[in-house]
Amino acid sequence: MGTNHLEEGQFFHLIPLTKDDSDFECPKPSGRFGRESDCRTFYSCVSNQARVALCPPMTQYDDRLKTCYITNYVECYQKEQFVCPEKNGNFRNNKCDRYFICKNGKSYMRKCPVTTLYDIKLKRCANYFWANCNEIDNQNIPDNQDNQVVKKNPKNETIFQNEK
């Protein structure tokens, strides 16, 4: 029977940790965790020791499934440049289904689970029906965006429209 993902126990090539990986701490003693600098790799934690594992060709790590999966079926979100306004906390992204986590001043982008959006008041993902992700404080609006209205389009992206 054909499958598009690798089953537990299949071989992943381990590669050396880089300088960027030195700050990574295993969230759990064992498991697989996405590596935002490269979607073809992930962290494999065993007894709280992190190693970087490389997915086989034509696959990328799927953080939801916790395994490598055919590239065409994986939504990969690499780290976006984001300057943390505070050392620790959750912060909005311009796409409502994503947010940033800041840990010790380093930012990591995360995607909300299906049927949820990032709520700016709760500072976490919430049911998309009630989530408030559209409110923007004036300091985040560029100077050339005066007299504009913020709306959410069908792709849950924040967009600006000129008021008339």
Assess whether 103 and 150 both reside in one domain.
yes
Residue-wise pLDDT tens digits, 20-75: 777 788 889 999 988 877 778 899 999 998 889 998 888 888 888 888 888 777 76
Q: What is the pLDDT of residues 10-19, one digit of tens each?
A: 567 787 777 7
Shared-domain flag, residues 97 and 69: no
Count: domains in the chain? 2
For residue 112, the enclosing domain spans 89-162
Query: How high does pLDDT run on average in the chain?
Result: 74
Q: Are residues 24 and 62 in the same domain?
A: yes
Distance from C-alpha of 60 to C-alpha of 32, rounded to nearest angstrom: 13
Average pLDDT of the residues in 80-86? 83
Q: For residue 138, give Cα distances in angstroms to 93, 114, 133.
A: 15, 29, 15
* CATH value at residue 58: 2.170.140.10
Q: Compute the average pLDDT of residues 115-124.
A: 91
Residue 16: predicted pLDDT: 76
Give the DSSP letter of residue 83: -
